[in-house]
Structure 1
Amino acid sequence: MDMAVDVFPWPKSKPMKTHHRFVGGTKQHKCGQTPTNLSLRRSFSNMDFSLCLSSLVHFLLVLSTFCLCPVYSSQLGTNQTFLPKQELIKMNLIRNRLQKINKPSVKTIQSPDGDIIDCVVSHKQPAFDHPLLKGQKPLDPPERPKGHNQMGDWSENFQLWRLSGESCPEGTIPIRRTREQDMLRAGSVRRFGRKKIINRVRRDTTGNGHEHAIGYVTGDQYYGAKASINVWAPLVENPYEFSLSQMWVISGSFGDDLNTIEAGWQVSPELYGDSYPRFFTYWTTDAYQATGCYNLLCSGFVQTNSKIAIGAAISPTSSYSGGQFDISLLIWKDPKHGNWWLEFGSGILVGYWPSFLFSHLGDHASMIQFGGEVVNSGSSGSHTSTQMGSGHFAEEGFAKASYFRNMQVVDWDNNLVPLSNLKVLADHPNCYDIQGGFNNAWGNYFYYGGPGRNVKCP
């Protein structure tokens, strides 16, 4: 009753005395009694009636505060009716999850694209919530693969948040802050930050809404991979579709034991709330079911770099018939500790995936994939017009189509070596295609991508 009294207080006048009358041998309260004769009805004064009515109105108002009436929440983005209690439970789940993801920061940076970047002490990042990492600190840099050129003009200033000139102090890492609206866009709070449970990387995928144009190698033991990928800002038609270009380091079968490590760039309005291409990572050890996540949205990947924010927007991007901007990524297994490290450019370590996260990848990879992927939701009744890469077919070539170049793998002795027997595959070639090649400047390369819906892809 405390809540109700605060909202609808009772009158402050003196308490009303209670009178009783005996009518036909029955004792009744004067308010609401049923008179049995005319004289009794006349004695029922106007003031008595007014007081009774006033009390009754207050009683009904108090009662109404306990009525759980269905409320539609457009903010939740679902076509169903929620009881206030259910909505409250969801918001509590979101806030509890945000508290785990967003760690206390020593500095906050506002990015021009609207992101908030928190500078978090490195040993307090989400990775160290993992039971096997609690109380530890990031490892020292490992031995690089032999044949890897660590000289170059690469810079960490390839992300929009760095344009302000602000940076995170040494001993901290920049983390893109996750906000309530990010989680409200997701179909499930529990699965926020995870890919949908689908057969995402099989070479023979058909009919599951995910379409690929990839190059791949298999049939050997792989301890890493490297490639340069040019970055575009493809159109994504539907908020629940995405377009990405990445490397996959894969082991296990394509059943429930699939292990993958992934890195590249993606446009995902559902995950990020905009159409910027963003640098991302991913991992799973059970085919995307209950393990792994994007970026730093769960415990797992350990970031060591103080200047790169995983999940932050990339700038500049490539332009059609204009300048091309690509990023070079290397993933390899540290021969000493067995962890899988990620390097950007030539010598800029981003961090590592601890080997204990994985089953099959605890040893080596059995397949490497490079390429593009889009979601075709078919929501309009026709093929999506979500673009892959530049949105142009492979045959258009340099400065028009997207590319992967200088693709290599890491062998058992920690050597970077050229690909052998690279295969290319587009599972919907009228919508997105791929063409491979080799030359002295680019080594193994391919062009890939497409516009999605077109005359041949209705």
Structure 2
Amino acid sequence: MSYCVLSHLQPAFDHPALQGQKPHFVQEDPPERPNGYKYTEAVAESESFQLWADSGESCPEGTVPIRRTRQKDIQRASSITRYGRRRVRRDSTGSGHEHAVAFEKGDEYYGAKASLNVWAPRVCNEYEFSLSQIWIISGSFGNDLNTIEAGWQVSPELYGDNNPRFFTYWTTDAYRATGCYNLLCSGFIQTNNKVAIGAAISPTSSYNGRQFEIGLMVWKDPKHGNWWLELGSGILVGYWPAILFSHLRSHANMIQFGGEIVNSRSSSSGLHTSTQMGSGHFAQQGFGKAAYFRNLQRVDWDNNLLPITNLRLLADHSNCYDITQGRNNLWGTYFYYGGPRRNVRCP
């Protein structure tokens, strides 16, 4: 369930750096999309993949939809202050966070773009999640890490169910005190009145069946310096003001794509979790069976959208979740990733 809030009263403007400001009016001053971007008019695309819109809900112009936080949502969290925030840093040794990702680093990056198919992986308990996303990263993997993140996620703790949901995240101090999921804290400014961040995605891909995907682009608008989020073909969701960040105020030094799960059993029972990543099938099974990202692109210093050519792969626990890449004329640079959870090779 979502409710409609006047754009200038959304949670973003509770942030000390944003108080007194107003949302960017896209109709009057749209962000400058990257050179090489192919724009096609999106007709009701923002409504076709979200269950909240399918049920007839919508918000009038001048407002934005915000997912309603209920008492039972708060009760599932460890505390009110931790609701909507990650418990540990994603790079922490022994944290239980496991990845199968593709990344490029070492340059100045001003955005990333890809299409990814959506699944409903099994998540075994409310302390774990399974997600697929784009990361925009700057700074070291210490206490000053800045990230912008967007994709789809299954998180029983956050949402109370096992539906894949469209989500965003950001942090400026390695997930310690700043940032949050979606609109659960001040920061991200939504400009779209049709897309509900945190809403369930439907339909989803099926094994040996139809594949459903979403397109994502995050890039730094050269006109005003803010980091914009685009969904699908031309749907501007909103932006992260550059003033929120330290390192990302200027540019990113790494972009990353792929899957992540939390294995809460890693330090307790010794057994691996049964939570799936992606489709729940290994990368080698390929199209129609494994999850994928395709048409991976980056945005350079001159706002050019370019194919990624120096992709590197990382699978923390390749017997549990793996990744394999390829390239062709139709999909550009792409990869398959994911895995089935605990198995013979991953006890």
Shorter-chain TM range is over 0.9
Aligned length: 339
Aligned to 1:161: 52
The 2-side partners of 1:444 and 1:419 are apart by 7
Aligned to 2:227: 340
Q: Percent of aligned pairs with the same residue? A: 73
Correspondent of 1:327 among 168, 190, 214 = 214
Correspondent of 2:155 among 230, 250, 268 = 268
Cα distance, 1:316 vs structure 2: 0.7
1:124 is aligned to 2:14: no
1:171 is aligned to 2:72: no
TM-score by length of 2: 0.96
Aligned to 2:75: 184
Q: Which runs of 4+ in 1 moved over 3 A?
A: none
The 1-side partners of 2:231 and 2:215 are apart by 6
Structure 2 counterparts to residues 102-113 of structure 1, below 5 A:
none
Structure 2 counterparts to residues 1-400 of structure 1, below 5 A:
116-140=1-25, 141-151=30-40, 153=42, 155-157=45-47, 158-198=49-89, 200=90, 202=91, 207-378=94-265, 379-400=268-289
The 1-side partners of 2:85 and 2:286 are apart by 34
> Secondary structure of the equivalent of 2:158?
helix
The 2-side partners of 1:122 and 1:168 are apart by 11
Aligned to 1:412: 301
1:425 is aligned to 2:314: yes
Cα distance, 1:152 vs structure 2: 5.0
1:287 corresponds to which letter in structure 2? A
Contact 2:137 2:255 in 1 (8 A): yes
More helix, by proportion: 1
Contact 1:206 1:427 in 2 (8 A): no
Gaps of 5+ in 1: 1-115
Cα distance, 1:188 vs structure 2: 1.9
> Secondary structure of the equivalent of 2:46?
coil
The 1-side partners of 2:138 and 2:304 are apart by 20
Q: RMSD of the alignment, in Å?
A: 1.1
Gaps of 5+ in 2: none
Who wins on radius of gyration, i.e. which is larger?
Answer: 1
Aligned to 2:290: 401
1:125 corresponds to which letter in structure 2? Q
2:209 corresponds to which letter in structure 1? G
More strand, by proportion: 2
Cα distance, 1:380 vs structure 2: 4.7
> Secondary structure of the equivalent of 2:257?
strand
> Secondary structure of the equivalent of 1:228?
strand
2:4 corresponds to which letter in structure 1? C
1:440 is aligned to 2:329: yes
Identify which of structures 1 and 2 has the higher relative contact order when contacts are C-alpha pairs closer than 8 Å and 6+ apart.
2
Cα distance, 1:219 vs structure 2: 1.0
